[in-house]
Structures are given as structure tokens and as C-alpha cells.
Amino acid sequence: MDFASMCCSAMAFLLFIVLCTKISRARTRRRTSHHQLPPSVNGIALLRLLPAIFKKGIPAVMNDLYIKYGSVFTASLFGASITLLIGPEVTAHFFQGLDSEISHGNMFEFTVPMFGKGIAYGRDMATRNEQKRFNVEAVLKPSRLTSHVSIMLQEVESYFSKWGKEGIVDLKVELERLLMLITSRCLLGKEVREDMFDEVNTLFGELGNGLNMISFLYPYLPTPACRRRDRARIRLTEILSNVVVSRKRSGRVEEDTLQRLMDSRYKDGRSTTVEEVVALIIALVFGGKHTSSHTSTWTGARLLSHPTVLKAAIEEQERITQKYKDNELDYNSFLEMVTLHCCIKEALRMHPPAPALVRKVHKSFTVQTREGKHYEIPQEHIVATPILVNNNIPYIYKDPQVYDPHRFHPDRNEDKVGGKFSYTSFGGGRHGCNGEAYAYLQIKVIWSHFLRNFELELISPFPKTDWSRYAAEPKGNLFVRYKRTA
């Protein structure tokens, strides 16, 4: 492992500790059940893992811990404790429990200066739940997705029409920009896409750069990164508020997510305010931006390193374009791209942007492991489920280290056979991702275009993972040689 990767691993390890310290401040309450507590890994044992983290990387070490201590164990360091829950047998309550029993606690406080006080962690639970409904109705409903397809196709076709007959590009950079163009058009709307794209793109970049270990722990410290983050949010709020107000004044109605949020109503009939609409749309764009672009890049890196899988994905495109002949591809045609869907899902299994999910326990509960052991998870404990390990459990995923998209094909369905919460890249249950279907759709539109129109060859070595960012991403450049086929 090179020095930079060692630093990244150390930073990620530190972030994990910082996270535990911030949210734990745990006063373990009197226990209410007679079940035993999970086995414990103490600080000295954890510090001894540092050389192994440098040598083998975080995923391998997490996996070693799982093999050694099982699916439920508590890690303690510097007075902070965190209980790990691994695999579908022990994570049902983690994902499905009521917010009054298990929730994000104060962990997402850092989002208030990023998105504003109008939403999420700036508001009470009842308002948050209603705003969650607005997100689902604005982004996830099939009718919304159907209307996005032709816009996504237009954006993708226009973007690649500017490429030459052949050349070399950094796929990571290209996909990041293309996804932001799609997002601008589908989520933020025509005004931003046509007149303010570059400024808005830069501002979202600044907002993300303001998210680091220090701002995570102390979101209001006046560091240069926090100041730039605050300036970016103020300017973004100004731009987007003007768009909302101008639509309201003129009575103009558009077909985008911003409009859906403007038209949303609370149960008492109240409309969303300009401040809430702007905060909701900033949070949605931010939540989908890096996750989708990293997944598109990983999908490319995996496909281009596996010729047999690539061939199957190209053949599927040929079949589907034959079927739809001259008609434009529509929402249903993308649903039919099962092979491509599995290629993306498998890339996400191996490279989840969020390596772990964390919650605070407000009411103690018990879990039963696959081996039949019962453990009590006491009130005030911090619990985490490492997606990285969940997605690689060998009794669910055959040869988990192998890129094998066919494992998700209807004739194998490894995750469904494994049971609910076997596949956790999008979380699940009460706080499962609101943008999953949208994310698949936009990544499919891009990769379907690539497969139908270009021959691609990976020039860079297969990328390592950069764990130091808030969303784990492919490290460095990903150079690809392209040649038009059509």
C-alpha cells in the first residue's frame, strides 16, 4: 500500500472513531433484559489493527473482525463504543425500527449548515416525515421517472455528440459532469440547466468540499472550508429561491422535481415554503450527485475489466434496440435491461459509496444471530452496520470477491434468497434511499449509450478506493480510450 493510501485508511479509521465519539457520549442505562451483551473488542485490540489496516485495507480488516467475533460485537476506543450488526439476521430492527426507538440521533447535525434549517435535522420529527413523503412523491414514483427518461436521453446524446471519432478521456471527470447536467435538468430545472449550470455546479462542489472530519464534528467552526461552504449555500439558496419565486409569480409550471416540491402540501393543507423547497432540492441533489457518479465510474471500471460480462451487456443492448427499432428507448425499455441493471448492482455491491450506516439506540432491543445466540443492545448504544461486510457475506454471495453480475439475475437472485437486508448499498427499511430507482435509471441511460455507440478500453490500472472522502470513491484518474462504433 502506498503512503497516500495509508493516510487515507488512517483518516477513514480516525473518522470512524470521531463519529463514535461524537454520537456516543454513552451513558449505558440499566439493562432491561436477561440476554447477554455482545462480545467486546477493546481499544488495545483495535489499535493493534492499525498495521493490518495499512497493509490490507479497511474492508479486509472489517471482514477479519466479522470472522473472529461474529455478526454482533462491540468495539470500544477512547471511551466511545460502537456495536456492529452484520448480516440480515441481526439488522431488521436497525433498518425498520421506529425513529423513537432507533434513529440517526444528532449525527446529521452537520447537514443543517449545508442545506439550511428548513428541512431534515433542522426540523422536528413529524415535519421531517412529511418532507420525506414529498421526496418520495417527487423522485421515486414511476410516473416521475417516466417523464425523466426523454430528458436524460437528450442530455446524454448531446453530451457525447461533442466527443470526436476517437480519443482518450478521464471517465471519472466526464461522468461527474454529465451526471450533474442530467441532475440540473431533471431535478433543478430548465432555468438552472440553461443559464446557470457552471455556477451551480461549482457551488455544489464547494458545499461538498466543506464536509470534512472537522466540520463533521464541529459544523459551525469558522474554518476556511466551513466559510466557503456557508458562502456556497447562501449563493445557492439565492439562485434557487429566485427560480422558485419567479415560477410562482409567472404561474409557469415545469416538469421537474423542483416543481413537484413546490406543489407539495403538508397534511394540514399548508404549502411548502420557498425556504423548504430550496433546502429539499439542495439535499436531494447533494445526496444523489457523488453516489451516482462514483457508481457509474465503478460500473465502467468493472465492465471494461471483464470482457465476457461486457459482451453480454452489449448483446442485451443489441436485442433491445432491435425490439424497439426506430422508436426512441422509453422507460420500459430501460426496465428490460436486466443484464445492465445487474452489472450496476454488482458494481455497487463491491463499491458502496457509504461503507457503513450508523444509528443511536433510544430503546434497548435484542437480536438473534444465525447461530441462535441472543444479545441485548442497550439503550444509548451506538450501532453500525458495515455495508462493506454485509455485501460480502459468503453464505449469501458465492465467491463475493468476484465481479459476477449474474448473481442478481432472476435465476439466481442471491440477495433475495439471502433475505431482506442482504443487499444494503441503498440502506433499506425506514430510511432506505429515496433515489434508488432514479439513480439506476440515469446510470443505465448513460451506460446503454456507451454500449451502443462506443468501443471502450481501460488504460488506467483498476482504481483503488479513496476512503478519505465522505462518499468512498475511485481513487485518481480513470483514463479510457474510446472509438465510435456507429
Cα–Cα distance, 22 to 27 (Å, whole number): 13
Stretch that binds ligand HEM, among 51-59, 148-156, 242-250, 283-291 (CB under 6 A): 283-291
Stretch that binds ligand HEM, among 29-37, 325-333, 396-404, 424-432 (CB under 6 A): 424-432
What b/e sequence results for 228-251 when a residue is b if at least 16 CB atoms lie within 10 Å of its CB, and e otherwise? bbbebbebbbebbeebbeebeeee
Residue 219 or 427 having the CB closest to ligand HEM? 427
Q: How far is the CB of 469 from ligand HEM (least distance, A)?
A: 14
Would you give the binding string for ligand HEM spanning residues 334-363, x where CB under 6 A is met?
--------------x----xx--x------
Is position 114 an interface residue for ligand HEM (rule: CB under 6 A)?
A: no
Stretch that binds ligand HEM, among 20-28, 262-270, 298-306, 428-436 (CB under 6 A): 428-436
The DSSP result for 100-128, as a single string, is TTEE-TTGGGGGHHHH-TTSGGGS-HHHH
Sign of CA dihedral 212, 359, 439, 109: negative
Question: Cell 502506498 identifies what position?
Answer: 2
Is position 171 an interface residue for ligand HEM (rule: CB under 6 A)?
A: no
Is position 435 an interface residue for ligand HEM (rule: CB under 6 A)?
A: yes
Q: How far is the CB of 86 from ligand HEM (least distance, A)?
A: 16
Q: How far is the CB of 91 from ligand HEM (least distance, A)?
A: 11
Judged by DSSP in three states, 165 sits in: coil
Centre a 10 Å sphere on the Cβ of residue 177 and count the other Cβ atoms it contains: 14
Q: What angle do CA 41, 43, 49 make, to 5 degrees?
A: 80
- φ/ψ of 69, rounded to 5, equals -105, -10
Integer Rg of the chain from CA:
23
The residue within the footprint of ligand HEM, chosen from 103, 390, 425, 448 (CB under 6 A), is: 425
DSSP state of 2: -
The residue within the footprint of ligand HEM, chosen from 175, 439, 458, 472 (CB under 6 A), is: 439
The residue within the footprint of ligand HEM, chosen from 73, 204, 438, 482 (CB under 6 A), is: 438
Q: How far is the CB of 44 from ligand HEM (least distance, A)?
A: 30
Judged by DSSP in three states, 481 sits in: strand
Cell of 188: 433543478
Q: How far is the CB of 426 from ligand HEM (least distance, A)?
A: 5
Cα–Cα distance, 485 to 469 (Å, whole number): 36
Q: How far is the CB of 43 from ligand HEM (least distance, A)?
A: 26
The residue within the footprint of ligand HEM, chosen from 284, 309, 356, 384 (CB under 6 A), is: 284
Residue 50 or 140 having the CB closest to ligand HEM? 140
Q: How far is the CB of 180 from ligand HEM (least distance, A)?
A: 12
Cα–Cα distance, 328 to 314 (Å, whole number): 18
Stretch that binds ligand HEM, among 22-30, 56-64, 361-369, 435-443 (CB under 6 A): 435-443
Would you give the binding string for ligand HEM spanning residues 134-163, x where CB under 6 A is met?
-x---x------------------------
Is position 38 an interface residue for ligand HEM (rule: CB under 6 A)?
A: no
**Using CB atoms, what's the residue nearest to ligand HEM?**
435
Is position 279 an interface residue for ligand HEM (rule: CB under 6 A)?
A: no
Residue 130 or 206 having the CB closest to ligand HEM? 130
Residue 133's contacts (CB-CB under 8 Å, 6 or more residues apart) are: 264
Q: How far is the CB of 434 from ligand HEM (least distance, A)?
A: 4
Residue 8 or 357 having the CB closest to ligand HEM? 357
Is position 392 an interface residue for ligand HEM (rule: CB under 6 A)?
A: no
Q: How far is the CB of 482 from ligand HEM (least distance, A)?
A: 23
Is position 291 an interface residue for ligand HEM (rule: CB under 6 A)?
A: yes
Q: How far is the CB of 432 from ligand HEM (least distance, A)?
A: 6
Q: How far is the CB of 123 from ligand HEM (least distance, A)?
A: 13
HEC profile for 383-437?
EEEEHHHHCCCCCCCCCCCCCCHHHHCCCCCHHHHHCCCCCCCCCCHHHCCCCHH
The residue within the footprint of ligand HEM, chosen from 70, 418, 427, 463 (CB under 6 A), is: 427
Is position 288 an interface residue for ligand HEM (rule: CB under 6 A)?
A: yes
Q: Are 294 and 471 in contact (CB under 8 A)?
A: yes
Residue 71's contacts (CB-CB under 8 Å, 6 or more residues apart) are: 85, 86, 87, 89, 90, 369, 370
Cα–Cα distance, 483 to 436 (Å, whole number): 31
Centre a 10 Å sphere on the Cβ of residue 130 and count the other Cβ atoms it contains: 17
Q: How far apart are the first and last CA of the chain?
A: 42
The residue within the footprint of ligand HEM, chosen from 132, 362, 406, 412 (CB under 6 A), is: 132
Pairing state between β 166-170 and 479-484 = antiparallel
Q: Which helix (H) or strand (E) holds 228?
A: helix 224-250
Cell of 370: 444465525
Binding region for ligand HEM (CB under 6 A): 132, 135, 139, 284, 287-288, 291-292, 295, 348, 353-354, 357, 425-427, 431, 433-435, 438-439
